[in-house]
Amino acid sequence: MTFLHQRFLLSISIMFTISQLLLVSSRGPIYKPPSVERLTDRFHSTPIEGKMSTFFGEPNIRMKNNGSYADIILDKTSGSGFVSKDRYYHGFFSVAIKLPTGDTSGVVLAFYMSNSDVFPHNHDEVDFELLGHEKRRQWVLQTNIYGNGSIKTGREEKFYLWFDPTQQFHQYSMLWNTHHIVFLVDNIPIREVIYNQASSSLYPSKPMSLYATIWDASKWTTHGGKYPVNYRYSPFIASLGELKTEGCFMSKTNSTSTSVCSKSSTPLTSDPVEGDEYTKLTSQQTIGLYWARSKHMFYSYCKDTSRYKVLPQECNN
């Protein structure tokens, strides 16, 4: 091998290494997640079409794998999404999502629970919102919670993800019972809202439907529409699967509504997420929660003194 050939190969190797470093640095530092219990393994997946109905944008919904998976699409004509056939009191709700690639500024994929259709002025809500970003083509994860409130009373927190959510499926899960609400990503808790006197006013208390939607949120997510959705890159396709919806749901009998609890399609006498193992986080989960919040959270309403002259009561706990 000649000297020039060696230098050529070395320069190629250096350029590749630099490109890889730039790729990593453009997404921020990459941290290895800690090992945690796989909470999702305790619950069985169910076909999307069995638990969900079309919410809007039916032409932009594609069912796959006999209804176990689905694509929801945003294009110039419409967004799209699902809503659950049942309303739930408590439970475990999870879905695997693969997000659209490319320039996704203004695109939002939401996996959330809400009853705003029934209680428009004092609704409850528990949200995962994946926000297409105008910088570095990077997705941002926002969590939010409302209790007997309006859109002005949200409790937002934002995270950078420790993986590329466009390359493969990742699990986004919500655990909701009378003790706490836990948001998990790939089984790692990223946020816990514990029920106590300070949080009782914001804690969801009424039955909610489950939603999965993709839509154009340019005016909301990109500084008043400064970086709107660029439809030259459409359609924006998000894939969903591995849906898990197990808990207490409303059952209408004649003119009355009662609560029916289920796990794996089997009626139970008690809520399947009310056992001792769901009362509080384990030591592994607590470590995971600290890791996610210390390494990846970049906004919390509890630190937003420009928004709140006096921080909400639960922020002092």
Q: Is 242 a catalytic residue?
A: no
Q: Is 277 a catalytic residue?
A: no
- Tokens representing 260 are 């029916």
For residue 187, give every residue at least 6 positions away whose Cβ sits within 8 Å of its Cβ, in sequence order, or none: 36, 37, 38, 39, 40, 171, 173, 288
Tokens 């695109």 correspond to 107
CA distance 43 to 187: 12
| C-alpha neighbours within 13 Å on the C-beta side of residue 253 | 5
- Tokens representing 125 are 């809500």
- Tokens representing 96 are 């695997």
- Other residues' Cβ atoms within 10 Å of the Cβ of residue 275: 10
Catalytic annotation, pick one of 49, 125, 134, 157: 125
Catalytic annotation, pick one of 129, 157, 242, 246: 129
44 to each of 95, 169, 211, how far by Cα in Å? 11, 17, 19
Q: Which residues are catalytic?
A: 125, 129
